[in-house]
Structure 1
Amino acid sequence: MRLPVPVSARRGLRRVAWPVWNRTQNRLRAPIRALLPLVVTLVALAAIQTTVRTRFDHPVVELLELGGFVVVLAVGTLGSARFLDRRSLAGYGLGVDREWARQAAVGAAVATASNAFAFAAVLLAGWASVAGFAETPGILPFLPALAITFCLVTVAATWEEVVFRGIILTNLVEGTDGYLPRWVAVGLSLTLTVVVFAFLHGGKVTAVSQYGYYLLAGVLLGGLYVLTGDLALSIGFHVAYNFTMSVVFGLGVSQQTPELLVLTVTGPTRWVGEEGLIHVVAVVLAGIALLAYVRWRDGRLAVAETIGTWCGRC
C-alpha cells in the first residue's frame, strides 16, 4: 500500500528539482540537455582512443577507432534525441532524404573549391611545391588508407556538427528564447557554441591569433544551421573541407593521412599553416558563396523557424 506524500514534501521536491527538471515538458532543462551529450561523448571518444592506441598497431587501430567512433556517434545522437531532448532527429537538422543529400553535396563542392583555391594560392606564391603523388604514411596501400581516412573524417565531422550545432545550439536557443528577443537568443547561443567549438580545437593552436580561424569556421558552420534549420550544408562542407585539405591537396600539415598530392611546404606558417591567412581567406570566400546560395535557394537570409522550436517527437 502506497503512503500518501505530504503536500509540503512534494513542494520541497519540486523546488529541489526545479534547476534541472522542466515539469511542463517532462525533461531535463536546456543547459543540461545542451552540455551532457558533449561531455559524455567526449569522454567516450577519449577512452576509445586511449585504449585502442595503447594496445594495437596499424592498421587495426584505425579500424577499431572507426568502429568505436561510429557507435559513439549513433548512440550519442539517438540517445540524446530520445531520452534527453525527446525530439525527432529532424529536430537536430538530420531529416535525411534525397534533398538533404543534395544540399550536403553543395556544401561539399564549395569546401572542395575553397581548398583548391588555397592550394593554387600557395603554389602561385612559391610557398609549396608538389613532391609526390598518392603516398601514405602507414603500411596500408593508398586506396584502403584513403577509404578508412574518409570514414574517420566523416564520422568526426558529423559528430562535431550534430553535437555543437544540432544539440548544443538548438537547446541554447530553446532555453533562452522567451526570456530574450529571438534574435538575441539566437545570436547569444551561436556565440557560445562558436567559443566552445574553438576552445576544443586548442590542441592544434600554437598562437592565440590562430583561434580566429576556428572562431570563423564556427560562425560559418553555425550560421548555416541557423539560416537553414538543417545540417546538410554544414556536414557536407565540414566533411569535404577536412578531407580535401589533407588527403586531396596535402595542406593538412599537422595530420598524418594518405595524400593524393604530396607537398613540400616552405612558406611562412602565418600564411600557409592550417590556421594560416590563406585558409582564412578561403573560408571567408566559401562563406560568402554559401550565403549567396542560401539567399538564391530560399529567397532570403533569415533565422529558420525550426531553430529552437520543440514539439516533442513530431
Structure 2
Amino acid sequence: MIHALRSTLWNAVDGKARVPWLILVPLVGAYGCLILVSEAAILLEMPLPLAQLLISGAPVVAALGLLRLSSHFLGDPRTLADYDVMVNAGWLRELLMGLGIGAVGVAIPYLIGLATGVLRVSATMDGGDLPLGLGVLLVVAAMLCTGFWEELLLRGVFISNARDGLRRWLSPSRALIGGLTISSLVFGLAHLGQPEIPAFILTWILAGVVFGLIYLFSGNLALGIGAHAAFNITANTVFVRTDISGTEHFSALTRITVESDASILGVGGAVEASGFLLVLALGLLWIRLSTGVITLQGLPLSHPPRALAQE
C-alpha cells in the first residue's frame, strides 16, 4: 500500500515527483494564494485597484516560492532561467515588443467598434475610486503581475512538464501540442466566472492557445508575458467596458458602452476574441521578422523519458 502510494507521487527512475505534481503544486498554490488574498481584500474593503494589485501580486510570490521548493523537495531540476525568467537585453526587448503587440491587439477591435457605432465612449479620464494617475498605475502593476505568474505557470511550467510526460507516448511535436491543449483548457476553466454567456468561455480557451503558441513559436516567455499583460492593461485602463461588474471602480482613460443588443458583443465575445486573434497574428509576425522562421521551438527537457533514453 505504501509502495503504491509512493509510486503515484514519485518517479524512482527519473528521481523526481511525477509530472502532475510538478505542475499542480505551484499552480494550485498560486491560485489558492489568490483566493485567500481576494477574501482578505473584500473583508478589509480596500479600493478595488489596490486590492487588484495585492490579489495579482500574491500569486507571484507564491509561484516563485513554490518553484523554489519544487527544486528541493520534488526533484524538479529546472531553474527559473530554464523556464526563461531572466533579465537581460534580449529578454527585455521581447517583453517590450509583447507589450506593444498586446496593446495594439486590444485597441484595434475597440477602434473598429467605435468607428462603426456599435461601441460608444461614455466617459473619459474617469478616476473611479482613486485619482486617475494612481489608479492607472496600480492596475498596470497588477496586470504585469498577472501576466508574469500566469505565463510562468500555465505556459512555462505546465507545457514544459506536460510535454516531458507525454513524450513517453507521443512524438516531440505532438507532446508539445498535447501540453498546449491541456494548459489552454485549464486556463479557460480558471476564467469560468468571467463571461456572462457560458459559450464565451471558448474565448478564454482561445487566449490560452494564443499565448501558448506565442511561447512555443518564440521559445521564450517574455513575449507572451508582455502580450498578456498589455492585453489586460489596455482592457482595464484604456478601453474599460461599462457592462463588466466592478469596472466602475477602476481608473479609466475611456469608458466604453456597447450600443448594440447583439449577444456576440457581450463580455468575452467578438471584441475580446478578435483581440486575441490579432495578438497571435502580430506575435507570429514579430517572430518571423526577428528570427526569420516560424517553427516549434525545442523547450528544455528535465530528463529524457526512459524509453527515449534507451533508444
Q: TM-score, normalised by structure 1?
A: 0.86
Distance 1:97 1:18, change over 3 A: same
What's the CA shift string for 1:70-102, capped at 9, x where partnerless?
Answer: 433432343345543231112222133211111
Percent identity over paired residues: 25
- 1:93 pairs with one of 84, 88, 97: 84
Taking only aligned residues, the RMSD between alpha carbons, in angstroms, comes to: 2.4
Q: Is the 8 A contact 2:26 2:62 kept in 1?
A: no
1:30-179 counterparts in 2 under 5 A? 30-58=19-47, 61=51, 64-65=54-55, 68-81=58-71, 83-84=73-74, 85-138=76-129, 140-179=130-169
Equivalent AA in structure 2 for residue 153 of structure 1 = M
> Structure 1 residues 164, 134: closer, same or farther in 2, change over 3 A?
same
**Hey, what's the Cα distance between the residues in 1 that align with 2:51 and 2:178?**
40
Quick one: distance in 1 between partners of 2:5 and 2:279? 48
Does residue 228 (structure 1) correspond to residue 218 (structure 2)? The answer is yes
For the residues of structure 1 that align with 2:146 and 2:90, how far apart are their CA atoms?
23
The one-letter amino acid paired with 1:21 is: W
Give 3-state SS (helix, strand or coil) of 1:91's partner: coil
Task: Judge conservation of contact 1:130–1:263 (CA < 8 Å) in 2.
Answer: yes
Number of the residue aligned with 2:14? 25
Deviates more, 1:55-64 or 1:195-204: 55-64
Distance 1:61 1:280 in 2: 27
Write the distance in 2 (CA, Å) between the matches of 1:31 and 1:130: 46
The answer to whether the aligner puts 1:287 opposite 2:287 as a matched pair is: no
**Structural mapping, 1:138-287, within 5 Å:** 138=129, 140-251=130-241, 253-254=243-244, 255-256=246-247, 257-268=250-261, 270-287=263-280
Structure 1: 5+ residue stretches without partners: 1-11
Distance 1:239 1:80, change over 3 A: farther
Deviation at 1:115, TM superposition (A): 1.7
Structure 2 partner of 1:8: none
Distance in 2 between residues matched to 1:63 and 1:114, nearest whole Å: 23
Deviation, structure 1 residue 191: 0.6
Question: In the alignment, residue 65 of structure 2 is paired with which amino acid?
Answer: V
Q: Which moved more, 1:263-272 or 1:203-212?
A: 263-272
Partners of 1:246 and 1:253 within 8 A in 2: no
On the 8 A contact 1:48/1:68 being kept in 2, the answer is yes
**1:130 shift after superposition:** 2.0
Q: How many positions carry a matched residue from both structures? A: 299
Distance in structure 1 (CA, Å) of the matches to 2:46 and 2:201: 33
TM-score normalised by the chain length of structure 2: 0.87
Alpha-carbon separation, structure 1, partners of 2:107 and 2:169: 44
Secondary structure of 1:204's aligned partner: coil
Q: Which amino acid aligns with 2:90?
A: E
State the alpha-carbon separation in 2 of the partners of residues 66 and 36 from structure 1.
18
SS in 2 for 1:225: helix
Is 1:245–1:252's contact at 8 Å kept on the other side of the alignment? no
Greater CA radius of gyration, 1 or 2?
Answer: 1
Q: 1:293 to 1:199 in 2, by over 3 A?
A: same
Letter in 2 for 1:231: L
CA distance in 2, matches of 1:79, 1:156: 21
- State the partner residue of 1:310: 302
Structure 2 unmatched ranges of 5 or more? 305-311
User: By how many angstroms is 1:13 displaced?
Assistant: 6.1
Structure 1 residue aligned with 2:291 = 298
Return the offset for 1:165.
0.6
